[in-house]
Structure 1
Amino acid sequence: MLKKWKTLEYRQILKSFVFSYYTAKRESGEMRGDFDVLECRNWINVIALDQSGNFILVKQYRHGIDDLTLESVGGVVESGEDPLVAAKRELLEETGHESEDWTHLGRASANPAFMNNYCDYYLAKNCQKTSEQNLDPLEEIEVIKMNEVELFEKIKSGEIHHSLFLAGLGLLKIS
């Protein structure tokens, strides 16, 4: 029977703003090895729809891939913060929109091979623009609205490729 591996040693190598990097020495029966672990704060992702049913997306530069992405609203859950509160905060900050109609779509591990965090997914319906964006000092975000046909065309063409957004759409489809 498969069991959880035993941790023999867990050592921090690096601490940064976004993550902490650890090495974990673990064993399972006769197997023993060193493994990389990134500890990150949990995330939220918001599938936002306006009153006409259009998707509210954000276009922004992503340093990891050195390119622009078209994706859903997303962000970090601050320490002690409820994920729904984080989702509402991020929607307002990134797009200037608010919603009174929220549904939790589910939760997924970000990349369990080497990351410890989870992403909570929310659907925000009937979003209304109530303010201007309130971006972080190093954020540039363009808000783009599109209908479902346009959205799926951009997914098929590869223009939309952010895995967290695609996972959220999958959760929306099965909800």
Structure 2
Amino acid sequence: MKKFEEKTIDSNPIFKGKVISLKVDDVTLPNGNQSKREIVNHPGAVAIIAITKDGKMVLVEQYRKPLERSIIEIPAGKLEPGEEPAVTARRELEEETGYGCNELNYLQTFATSPGFADEVIHLFVAKDLYKIEEKAELDEDEFVELLEVTVEEAEQMVANEQIYDAKTAFAVLWMKMNK
């Protein structure tokens, strides 16, 4: 038995969309009581800490409707069914930044919002970047602006909340620790 495990008694699907699905599970708690859990299912994603030859971070600025604002992030994207995370990472790096890489290393996987979602992000570090001749197309509903910033500039972006998401804040901290 897993420590503090909650056993599912019943699961009721509520919504199935293109990216996420939502369900409500009835669970038995470790103390024997029952409760409900609202759970968002997500296929998972990748994120890439892309580092230029001069040690800058490659970031993208894009509008995030749930936040009703633009934020600056590391390149990232959703896993396609059956796609290996490293393949997704290379594709998303090319689509969002116009860069390819000769070196792509897996760093770690982490949960984004474990209180209500099963999404995990597979984090990679991309080095030895090169410009793609024929840049891959962004998704039709995706609009991004490319930035290349120093670690110090990225730290300032965290401080003034231009960088506002956990994966990118983590990337800035990783860059600072691995300079």
User: Same-fold call, TM > 0.5?
Assistant: yes
What band does the TM-score fall into relative to the shorter chain? over 0.9
Asked if the contact 2:51/2:126 (under 8 Å) is kept, the reply is yes
Give CA-to-partner distance per residue, 1:75-122, whole Å, 9 cap, x none: 001111110110000000111100011111101012111111211101
Partner of 2:149: 146
Over residues 5-33 of structure 1, what are the superposed CA-to-partner deviations in whole Å (9 max), with x where a residue is unaligned?
11000110111112100000000232101
Counterpart of 1:88 in structure 2 is: 90
Distance (whole Å) between structure 1 residues aligned to residue 19 and residue 40 of structure 2: 10
Structure 2 equivalent of residue 17 of structure 1: 18
| TM-score of the superposed pair, with normalisation by structure 1 | 0.93
- Contact 2:151 2:175 (C-alpha < 8 Å) held by counterparts: no
CA, structure 1 residues 154+43, in 2 after alignment: closer, same or farther (shift >3 Å)? same
Per-residue CA deviations over 1:47-79 (Å, capped at 9, x if unaligned) read 101111111110111111111111100000111
Deviation at 1:133, TM superposition (A): 5.0
Task: For 2:122 and 2:40, locate their aligned partners in 1 and report how far apart those are by CA, in whole Å.
Answer: 18
1:139 counterpart SS class = coil
Given residue 13 of structure 1, which amino acid in structure 2 is its aligned partner? Answer: I
DSSP-derived class of the 2:67 partner? coil
Identity of aligned residues (%): 24
C-alpha displacement at 1:2, in angstroms? 3.6
The Cα RMSD (Å) is 1.7
Letter in 1 for 2:111: S
- Assess, with a 3 A threshold, how the Cα gap between structure 1 residues 149 and 172 changes in structure 2: closer, same or farther: closer
Please list, as runs of the form range in 1=range in 2, the aligned pairs for 1:127-146 lying within 5 A after superposition. 127-131=129-133, 132-146=135-149
8 Å CA contact 1:106, 1:171 repeated in 2: no
Amino acid at match of 2:23: Y
**Normalised TM-score (structure 2):** 0.91
How many residues are matched? Answer: 175
